[in-house]
Amino acid sequence: MNKDNNGTILCAAVGISHEFPKPEGNRLKVLDDINLQIRSGEVVALLGPSGCGKSTILRILAGLIKPAAGEVRTHGEKLAGLNKGAAIVFQGFALYPWMTVSENIEVVLRSTGYPAAEIDARVQETVRMVGLTGFEDAYPRELSGGMKQRVGIARAIAVKPELLFMDEPFSQVDALTAESLRAEVLDIWEMAGANPQSILMVSHDIKEVVYMADRIIVLGAHPGRVRTVVENKMPRPRDYRSAEFQRLMERLHDIISGHEMPDVAVEPAMPPSFIEPLPNCSAGEIVGLMEYLDARGGTADVFQISVDTRSEFGQIITIVKGAEMLDLVDTPKRLVALTPVGRMFIKASPEERKNVWRGQMLQLNLFRTIKDLIDKHPEQAISKELVQEIIVMHMPFENYEPLFDNLIRWGRYGNLFSYDETSETISRPDTPA
């Protein structure tokens, strides 16, 4: 680290909590008591599954969102309004399609009050720093995703911010380009002189944060909270294949999966008549996972699955969780293994698979409750509203709309019930098994 690392705290979150209003009036807690600091001369990463509020934390620190409780401090002072020391690189680039590359950079220099006489020179300098020379007069639509994000980076560092915020900066860039951009961002940061002094990045990619960050803040979801902070003292440039790199990656996997995967219990503090929150994955994805495992002798490393299937790690965890709820797989540590039921399922014909699926679903309180309700109802049909009410009553923190959609998908796959979208009723299947 060539950066001046004197440990001054540039920006800090102190006891931040946040809520979003829900359409029906009550509030959804998205962040719970977040405390973190960004010191000068370091790269900090926020790592966590989708829905843990990483991007919300970034926007609160940037002063774009006012937290419901707690405060942001910059250089020890309470932040009111915009954080003028920060610039953001956006996930979706947020470039102006009607401006050329240099105009995109130029306008932010104008708006932030950069000395007018030096603007042209600064534009050229930043264009050179991010390797866009020759593209000054190109429009964003002529550029690939990677090149677009170079413009996004150039625009942010052009104004010489003390803090560079990056919100999943490489998730819309192809994998190879992302790899080179990561290295380049670090080079730029180290060569850039005084500013940007520090980088705060949001990511769900473990490899990315181990490569880039000095400190990794691991977040948990529902509501978002800081689970643990991992220091990463490896010297740069870091080697993806080194033993140290791999060890740290595995450690982070264990932290995330040990907690996210229902190894211990789904939710320990549930009331006795609890109802399981369905993970947001489709029956097709679960069947896909089973096929994958079957083709590899029934066991695989969860990280390997994510790499092989080119899927987001968080989504793989979700699918594994879904399969485990149905008792189709087991998850000893980082491994995912087929259970005897799972083996039976995968060997069965498509029709029999549905039967196994239905049987496993009925082990869950949620589906049993719904089936009982349908059976008891004189018309053998219940309304969408009723089911949503059950969900909201038992799981006030879950977002009931996607959960309901997912419930319908699972139920339809297992031929447990059928759903009429027009009348919004759930009834017995048309062709009962």
Contact footprint for other proteins (CB under 8 A): 59, 62, 64, 82, 84, 86-88, 90-94, 96-99, 103, 106-108, 110-113, 116, 141, 155, 159
Query: CA 386, CA 409: separation in Å to the nearest integer?
Result: 17
Triad 360, 366, 369: Cα angle to 5°? 105
Residue 139 or residue 245: which is nearer to other proteins going by CB? Answer: 139
For other proteins, the closer of residues 106 and 214 by Cβ is: 106
Smallest separation (angstroms) from other proteins to the CB of 208: 20
CA distance 289 to 329: 10
Residue 317 CB neighbour total at 10 angstroms: 24
Distance, in Å, from the CA atom of 169 to the CA atom of 147, rounded to the nearest integer, reads 12
Determine what percent of the chain falls in helix, strand and coil, rounding each to the nearest 5. 40, 20, 40
Please, which residue, 88 or 366, has the CB nearer to other proteins? 88
User: Minimum CB separation from other proteins for residue 94, in Å?
Assistant: 4
Report, in Å, the least distance between residue 96 CB and other proteins.
Answer: 6
Closest by CA to 204, choosing from 30, 56, 58, 48, is 48
Least distance in Å: CB of 120 to other proteins? 10
Smallest gap from residue 281 Cβ to other proteins (A):
19
Do residues 189 and 196 lie in contact, with contact meaning Cβ atoms separated by under 8 Å?
yes
Rounded to 5 degrees, what angle do the CA atoms 55, 225, 80 make?
55
C-beta closer to other proteins: residue 349 or 422: 422
Whichever of 111 and 431 has its CB closer to other proteins, that residue is 111
Nearest CB to other proteins, comparing residues 91 and 415: 91
Which residues are CB-contacts of 334 (< 8 A; sequence separation ≥ 6)? Answer: 250, 253, 254, 257, 301, 302, 303
Residue 60 C-beta: closest distance to other proteins, Å: 12
